[in-house]
Amino acid sequence: MSYQLNDKITGLKPYEPITGEYPIRLDANESFLQPSAIMRAKISMEIVDGGLNRYPDPLCKKACKAFADYYNIDAANVTAGNGSDELLMLLPMAFLKKNERMLVFEPDFSMYKFYSYLTENQVICMPKKKDLTIDLDAAAHLINEQNIKAVVFSNPCNPTSLGISRQQIIDFIKSVGDCLVIVDEAYMDFWDSYQSIVTIAAQFDNVICLRTMSKAIGMAGIRMGFAVANKTITQALRSVKSPYNCNSLSQTAAEIILSDKQYIDNCIDTIKQSRDYLYNKAIELFAYRPDVVIYPTCTNFIFILAPDAEGTYELLRENGVVVRLMGNYLRVTAGTQEENDRVLELLRQFL
């Protein structure tokens, strides 16, 4: 008998972002800004100065401290991951046992479901309402009814771009008792810091708040994400992760960037302006089209329901602009002024 892959992994395909050369990439919600030449030089210098023959700090203390200082929280409640994706993979693996139930919503970030599936949890998937918001009361009811051990969702949401207020999140957390609530705040910097639970996550016994350097902070290439939770959860998370999950190059880069509050604040302001421009122009453009819906955005992208989204996607692509196609929806990341103007011009022609 020859070796056979098990049926859990046969047929899976590697995650493949759009490949090929496109002048305008608005498909991955990346930042269009990057650190100045001076900052990049500083990062390079400190990276080469570090002892690359030695293993990195397993607890990533300096970067966690810089992260904690930026958000005004206690570094003792922070765990660093190789992108928040690594943490998202670890959570079901460690905090749920085989066949225990994890609740996700549809549509939401697709990796939640996937990691849970790999870990052999039972994934319970609750569709969002017609307006693409979560029915939090129904979700709490289901969690309590079906003995669901963990729930995960993005806030603000990728892909819908909608946000759930902090008060609603707090009420929800309190209504699900012993279920672990994982709130992925990858896009929170683009909304409103008052809506974040990052400063209060550690006060609950059942909450993990995830953040990433990949979006507002513009460092998707270094793969750094953070989990914020109380001491018990933090201790568990640090114990289950692989010891040297964040390499020393990324730790150094993360510490330098996170210590530069002004740089991050400027990035966030600039991206929010770009997002507002893209959103307002798109709303104007489709004011006369009741069949096109543009959702209010709390993120760095806009989410559009359009008839013939697929055709529009293809036409944009033929013209060198890639966005994300999701069924009848298009997700368009805010880019530079020129990129925004180009995608708006093409949308005007095609829709």
Ligand X SMILES: *Cc1c(COP(=O)(O)O)cnc(C)c1O
Interface ranges with ligand X (CB under 6 A)? 29, 83-85, 109, 154, 158, 184, 186, 212, 214-215, 220, 225
> Which residue has the CB atom at the shortest distance from ligand X?
83
Chain centroid to Cα 269, Å, comes to 19
* Sign of the C-alpha dihedral computed for residues 116, 181, 210 and 237 taken in this order: negative
CB 217 within 8 Å of CB 71 = no
Q: Which is nearer to ligand X, 92 or 351 (CB)?
A: 92
Query: What's the closest the beta carbon of residue 45 comes to ligand X, in angstroms?
Result: 25
Q: Which is nearer to ligand X, 67 or 286 (CB)?
A: 67
Least distance (Å) from ligand X to the CB of residue 79? 13
Of 84 and 340, CB closest to ligand X = 84
Peptide bond into 35 cis (omega under 30): no
Instruction: Please give the helix or strand (H or E) that residue 304 lies within, else none.
Output: strand 301-305
Nearer to ligand X, 29 or 77 (CB): 29
- Helices and strands per DSSP (H, E), number in the chain: 11, 13
Contact 82, 246 (CB under 8 A): yes
Least Å distance, CB 154 to ligand X, is 4
Instruction: Output the smallest distance, CB 279 to ligand X, in A.
Output: 18
C-alpha–C-alpha distance, residues 92 and 90, integer Å: 6
Range list of β-strands (E), 13-148 = 24-25, 78-81, 101-106, 122-127
Q: Which is nearer to ligand X, 29 or 274 (CB)?
A: 29
Count the Cβ atoms, other than its own, within 10 Å of residue 53. 5
For the bound state, the minimum distance from the C-beta of residue 32 to ligand X, rounded and expressed in Å, comes to: 15
SS3 content of the chain, % helix, strand, coil (to 5): 40, 15, 40
Based on CB atoms, which residue is closest to ligand X, 149 or 324?
324
The secondary structure of residue 259, as a DSSP letter, is T
The first and second tokens of residue 160, run together, are: 């819908």
Q: Which C-beta is closer to ligand X: that of 92 or that of 225?
A: 225
Helix 248-258 to helix 61-70 angle (10° resolution) is 20
- Cβ proximity to ligand X: between 56 and 225 the closer is 225
**Least distance in Å: CB of 92 to ligand X?**
14
Q: What are phi and psi of 313, to 5 degrees?
A: -55, -45
The nearest distance, CB 155 to ligand X, in angstroms, is: 9
Min CB(298)–ligand X separation in Å: 12
Question: How far is it, in rounded angstroms, from Cα 62 to Cα 180?
Answer: 28
CB nearer to ligand X: give 179 or 213.
Answer: 213
Minimum CB distance to ligand X, residue 158 (Å): 4
Phi-psi region of 270 (alpha: psi -120 to 50; beta: other; left: phi over 0): alpha
State how far the Cα of 243 lies from the Cα of 288, in Å rounded to an integer.
Answer: 56
Report the sign of the C-alpha dihedral through residues 249, 250, 253, 256, in that order.
negative
What whole-number distance in Å separates Cα of residue 29 and Cα of residue 60? 26
